Homo-oligomer: A and B are copies of this chain.
Amino acid sequence: MPANPQNMESRARLSAADWEQAALDVVAAEGVAALAVESLARVLGVTKGSFYWHFPTRDALLKAAIDRWERRDEDEIISQVEAISDPRLRLRDLFQRVSREVQSHRIYAALLQASDLPLVQPVIERISRRRLSLLTDAYREAGFDARRAAHRARLAYTAYSGFLQLNQRHGMPRMDQDEYQAYVDHVITTLVPD
């Protein structure tokens, strides 16, 4: 038995998971439209012939990659949210945490941009519902009635995705680190009750 072939660096043989991870990297860096099998094969040091052994089609890869990301993402979010019982503290922590992991939200931003593709549209819808109900629940626990909780959650979530979108490729004036943190604080004091 070979010594842990999964961790051999730059090994010749690839698995489907390798392709999915590489696909996610491309999506995060250049968007969904930039995901092409030949260029991806070049990145991995192989050719198309390899790809079409692992996946029947390009869309199959994209779907598998997104599913992988969605599972990972959901697990992280859930575990983070379970931690804090006080809803107001939970909301503040959520905002702060999200604000620091901009890197990890690049894929979601890319998917948002490609939400007209029939493959990603249901994904966006699922994620939006989940995150929205997450926020809505927190606001309800914080004392908002159902209506206002839903509205405030929607406002917070649209501000989040709008921020992602406009910061994608310098769509907005850039902020330095201090300015950014000050902005996050402003958002929290504006959208989270004391």
Contacts and interface: CB of A to CB of B under 8 A. Distances in A.
Interface of A: 30-31, 33, 112-116, 121, 124-125, 128-129, 132, 147-148, 151-152, 154-155, 157-163, 165-166, 168-173, 182-183, 186-187, 190-191
Q: Chain copies in the assembly? A: 2
A177 to B, nearest CB: 15
Contacts of A173: 128-129, 132
Contact of A162 (B148, B158, B190): B158
Nearest to A161: B162
A150 to B, nearest CB: 8
A171 B113 contact: no
A113 B155 CA distance: 20
A152 to B, nearest CB: 7
